[in-house]
């Protein structure tokens, strides 16, 4: 059964889904000390039920739990609540797990063991949101920074977090080529590996949503946004 450790209704509400008692106890104390209302769930099915039954400003989700894999929780939660902010907290440190979660719509991913100060900072960053509702433009293309939506003149199109980060980088350098290394660093956070094709896959998804002519491949360099 979940325990609310800070009951002020005006406080941001956080749901922590993790089967490790020590993690639940330590994080709940730290987040409550930051003035957050924290509710706990100790399994995937319980966490999903709570996340869909109530409104939370942030869900912190472990991946390896009894009863239901955390990625299945993430998939079902964001299918029914696509705007829900989710921070994945897991001992799975391989890039493929991070990419899977970001593609499913997770906002952030932190590996165990972790610094408590970093976790609190990341939680605060997610709760800060985007109060300005800022939109950046490149020609006819608009990108809404708060909603992670793009519009090329045919109505808003939802983007995954990785699609959003890649498109944002291309728009900020519109008319100039952006290397695969730059795109990897901005979206995935690591240096370019020559054998990797994850940037190309992401660009193909963006082209399928926004049109093939929007992003040009610059041979030997990277990609260039051509919206005029």
Distance (Å, whole) CA 8 – CA 213: 51
Query: How many residues are recorded in the chain?
Result: 228
**Least confident interval from 38-47, 56-65, 117-126, 147-156:** 147-156
Distance (Å, whole) CA 48 – CA 42: 11
User: pLDDT tens across 75-125, in order?
Assistant: 999 888 877 889 999 999 898 899 999 989 999 999 988 888 899 998 988
In the predicted model, is pLDDT for residue 174 greater than 50? yes
Give the highest mean pLDDT range of 60-64, 154-158, 162-166. Answer: 60-64
Distance (Å, whole) CA 135 – CA 225: 17
- Put the strands of the sheet holding 215-218 in their side by side order: 177-179, 222-225, 215-218
Strands 108-111 and 86-90: parallel
User: pLDDT tens across 126-151, in order?
Assistant: 887 544 456 788 888 888 876 778 88
In the predicted model, is pLDDT for residue 46 greater than 70? yes
10 Å Cβ neighbour count for 108?
20
* Nearest Cα to Cα of residue 111 among 97, 96, 92: 92
Q: How far apart are the first and last CA of the chain?
A: 55
CB 190 within 8 A of CB 184: yes
Ranges of each domain in the chain: 13-128, 135-225
Amino acid 109: pLDDT: 93
User: pLDDT tens across 184-218, in order?
Assistant: 877 776 655 555 688 899 999 999 999 988 999 99
Top pLDDT among 67 and 88 is at: 88
Cα–Cα separations (whole angstroms), residue 42 to 56, 70, 105: 17, 12, 22
- CATH class of the domain at 13-128: alpha beta
The architecture of the domain spanning 135-225 is: Orthogonal Bundle (1.10)
């Amino acid at each position: 059964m979940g325990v609310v450790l800070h009951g002020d209704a005006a406080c941001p509400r956080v749901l922590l889904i993790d089967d490790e008692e020590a993690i639940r106890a330590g994080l709940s104390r730290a987040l409550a000390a930051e003035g957050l209302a924290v509710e706990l769930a100790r399994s995937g099915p319980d966490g999903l039920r709570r996340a869909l039954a109530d409104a939370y400003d942030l869900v912190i989700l472990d991946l390896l739990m009894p009863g239901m894999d955390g990625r299945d929780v993430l998939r079902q939660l964001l299918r029914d609540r696509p705007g829900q902010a989710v921070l994945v907290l897991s001992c799975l440190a391989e890039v493929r797990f991070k990419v899977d979660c970001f593609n499913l719509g997770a906002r952030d991913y932190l590996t165990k063991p972790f610094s408590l100060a970093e976790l609190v900072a990341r939680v605060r960053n997610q709760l800060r949101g985007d109060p300005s509702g800022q939109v950046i433009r490149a020609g006819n293309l608009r990108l809404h920074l708060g909603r992670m939506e793009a519009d090329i003149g045919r109505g808003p199109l939802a983007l995954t977090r990785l699609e959003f980060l890649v498109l944002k980088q291309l728009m900020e350098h519109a008319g100039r080529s952006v290397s695969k290394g730059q795109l990897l660093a901005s979206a995935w956070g690591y240096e370019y590996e020559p054998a990797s094709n994850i940037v190309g896959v992401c660009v193909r998804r963006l082209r399928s949503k926004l049109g093939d002519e929007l992003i040009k491949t610059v041979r030997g360099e990277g990609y260039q946004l051509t919206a005029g």
